[in-house]
Amino acid sequence: MTFPKLSVSLPYWQNRPPLDALAVAEAAEKLAYHRLWIGEMATFDAFALATAIGRSPGRMPLCLGPLPIGVRTPATIAMGAATVAALTGRPVDLALGTSSTVLVRDWHGRRRHRTARHLDETTRIVGALLAGEKVEYDGLIERTRGFRLRLPALRPTRAHAVLGSGAAARGWPSVGSTTGRGPSTGDRPSAAHRAAPADVGPGGEIAVAAFGERALDVAARCADRVVLNLVTPAQTARCVTAIGEFAARAGRAAPPVSVWVTAGADPDADMFTTVRSGVVGYLRAPGYDAMFTEAGFGEVVRLAHGGAHPRDVLAAIPDELPAAVGMFGDPATLAARLGTYRDAGADEVVVVPVTTAADPAGYRTLDALAAIRESATRPGAELRGRLLPGSGSGPHANGASRSGSGPATGEVPRFETPGAAGDSAGSGR
């Protein structure tokens, strides 16, 4: 099988210093990961942090997000991405998502409604702006008139594909029309709408975070890539199938899928406490609650929805929950888990490393996975034994017990070298 691209997402663990993010970024660059994902919640502004990291030595591409569409306009999102690209000289991609009611309504005081429609409109507008177009759009959620970026376009080859022919997709307007409210012609999508996501050049890719049916539909129709977070391999496979079906109905190639996966090499109790703490806020979030219930953790989801204090929710979260949606263990276990996500249809596995006081960069985990990548993709290479003695011991060595990731020990699975889409820093797509 082909080895998935390995990328890194900066973790913002609640019980760890925010500046761990800089150490993680440095480690990801040193270990030649495919690209660095920089999200945003309650610590750093994603564009500011990306600029700081991008101005440091290195050339690893950056993906900003998933950014919550409800707290920025499409114009400010496009400006932010173009700013990072212009100031750092690195390829910059974007990921967009609807986020949660807590973040959008409670933290930022913005209205969160018609999220699928909002996601569709924002994705199309941002895509057109990053293509260098002057956009006139009057939608049901978003409006922009006459704005054009003065910075270089991130995706000039996609201008016509983003703007389309003026025919609305599934009754929703194409960006570039003077009004977003007109009825659809009902015609088969034009060749522009059917452009394959692979046409995107270095930088400027727009990914959409999704899990629910409507969000997956939007992502399949509008995005260059789909992002899944906190999902089991089985849920990944189901989403990949749905994405393919929705894309086929829209007359376009299915976009590739990235999966964020929390990871820890040779985990101990403190590492699982860190991950469990990070999960608490997701148990009540729309979409995530359904994912955890489907994965077999409905009892703790109901506890969170019932208004229990966060510390009581934390105490009720078993280590098996983060293990079901992550990868933890020795090198063979981590390799098997990677293979399971690849078999489920993940084109890119985005590692969210657990950081600790002794390892604020998550280097132990990132180094172990980089060694697996090298062993799997270089003929004759041997898995480097860089983990400390005792790797893989304990009851949580195999994070796949609920999700069928395969054996915890044994030979590292062999993968085919991905060729031009290889997993090296600066390789673009």
Domain ranges, residue 332:
5-280+327-421
Sequence-ordered list of residues with C-beta below 8 angstroms from that of 402, at least 6 positions apart, any chain: 232, 295, 296, 320, 323, 324
- Burial class, 388, CB count within 10 angstroms (exposed 0-12 / middle 13-18 / buried 19+): exposed
* Distance in angstroms (rounded) separating the CA atoms of residues 295 and 199: 35
Query: 26-68, pLDDT tens digit by residue?
Result: 999 999 999 999 999 889 999 999 999 999 999 999 999 999 9
- Strand 225-229 to 257-265 pairing: parallel
Query: 107-137, pLDDT tens digit by residue?
Result: 767 787 788 899 999 999 999 999 999 999 9
311 domain-assigned: no
pLDDT of residue 320: 93
| Coil vs helix vs strand at 111 | coil
pLDDT band at 379 (very low <50, low <70, confident <90, very high): low
| Coil vs helix vs strand at 229 | strand
CATH number, domain containing residue 348: 3.20.20.30
38 domain-assigned: yes
Q: What is the largest CA-CA distance in the chain?
A: 65
309 domain-assigned: no
287 domain-assigned: no
Q: State whether the Cα torsion 365-37-110-246 is positive or negative.
A: negative
Find the range with the poorest average confidence among 189-198, 208-217, 289-298, 326-335: 189-198
pLDDT of residue 333: 96
pLDDT band at 87 (very low <50, low <70, confident <90, very high): very high
The amino acid at 294: E
286 domain-assigned: no
Q: What is the mean pLDDT of the chain?
A: 81
291 domain-assigned: no
Query: 142-193, pLDDT tens digit by residue?
Result: 999 999 999 988 877 565 455 443 333 333 444 444 344 433 333 333 333 3
**Could you tell me the pTM of the whole model?**
0.81
DSSP 103: I
Query: 203-225, pLDDT tens digit by residue?
Result: 899 999 998 899 999 999 999 99
pLDDT of residue 284: 87
Domains in the chain, number:
1
Q: Return the ∠ at Cα 105 (arms to 104 and 110), rounded to 5°.
A: 80
Asked if 427 and 59 count as a contact pair (C-beta separation under 8 A), the reply is no
57 domain-assigned: yes
71 domain-assigned: yes
Asked if 373 and 414 count as a contact pair (C-beta separation under 8 A), the reply is no
Does pLDDT of 274 surpass 50?
yes
